[in-house]
Structure 1
């Protein structure tokens, strides 16, 4: 059985069991209760559980420093329990020691407790702070990792968005280029088609004109036409009178309203067209055999040069020059001399 004996400072010291009665001993609240008497009992700040925790940590540290051994391998030794109120930082620290009356014994006990805590690596009131610091470090590490993950995710999203924007811009640029290329190709095709159609139209027109000329030439070959229509013969070739400077008429007059068409009597070439004094506006048609046919007193001229076919309109009946009314004065000249137009037309099958 363990026994209690007073210490020099008046506190009880727990003696270990004797050698004959050795066994595992654990302090209890009753065995570690401070003595009652003239000494002041301090109020514990933290309770027995906290003091037991500190004691247990010290024992574990001591066992770790000396190696792990069983009770059978180690010799029996006495364990001296300091007063719970003497441990600084456990039940009040140095303030509690001062409250106990400032005795030297209490100060020595507190110094011994601090030395023991320093030897075992346990500093009062640091266990909780260590746990809080570890939790804070863990929280900071997790927060930093989460921040890094968020930054990496944000960067990845930014890269993805940038790649998508670049792809969209490239696609839009390629679409615009394709549209521009298609537009230019369409314009080039349209221009080429228009030029082709224009060339074809010009060629068709030229071919039609050539064909018409050939048809007219073939139609008028060996044929003749009356010089006008809806007419009345008023003066014949050789009529005498003071109206003519030569004293007689040198042509055949076809009286008709002004503007009546005047036609070529045969296929030939217009060699002269213009004002000619007393003849007014005059057109000269030269036939293939060299015969000249004069059309005089015209109000207008439709053809002033080039080849014509029989029956082509070359001018209009008028009253220009020396006249008494609108009519066509027709002269036929061969070798520079005049011949009777009526006889000449009749000889070519025309019914004048």
Structure 2
């Protein structure tokens, strides 16, 4: 700690009568300077008030008093010497560079000030050092310890982070649920569209089939007008492909219309008589060749009304039912041969022409 230089002592004069018979000697005058009078630092500080007055530091004030008293005593010890004025340095610059004592926790209460501020300043000044890190929010929650306040803030931060993590998980779950619902809705819509398309396709197919059937019926109806069943008052007794020993090939090669002898036989379609005469096991036979080369055989006739090379039209009578040739009774044995010579089912051929014998 810096201290003031002591004032010089008066020399010892033993013969001056005024001082017990000692001789008078000259005193050295001492004037305090900035170097000799230094501000006291450390435990106390100088506080500058308003216009630059001295602080109420007891140490600085004491130093000034001691200096003044010392200087005055020395001055009055010499006869005829006027009092010496004392000039003290301005300690305001030093005071301005020092922190406010009241701002230090637990220290402000040690310094009394008549011009003290608000009660809040007093509470802050009197606060213990352990409350240095306590914020106003912590104080409102009843926390007065800095460590406890720090722990509480860490816990709050951890809780906030946990809340954020929970919110993120919840948001992700909600987004996943929305995405899944959208995918399911899309799949359902696609399935519904496919079902509707399949239904529309089936309806279209059905309508197309109905249209084709109608067209075929119209075609057959029109065609039927140009074709005719070869006889009337008949009964179908044997069909194409029936097996039996009565046929030399082992199976029936035509369609039999059993009818009374003399029943008229008609031309099934417009054509030309290719043959008309006896044909052995077939008896009297007439072969009618159509425009496409198909041959219609009329067998077992009792009589024939046409001759080879003759043109006939649909429904013209070409002969009569009989029992000539290899037969067991009167009937028409009808065979159908294609232009290539193949023997086909007469019943299917007639149905293909719109006829149902």
Query: TM-score higher than 0.5 here?
Result: no
Q: Could you state the TM-score of these two structures normalised by the residue count of structure 2?
A: 0.36
Q: Could you state the TM-score of these two structures normalised by the residue count of structure 1?
A: 0.37
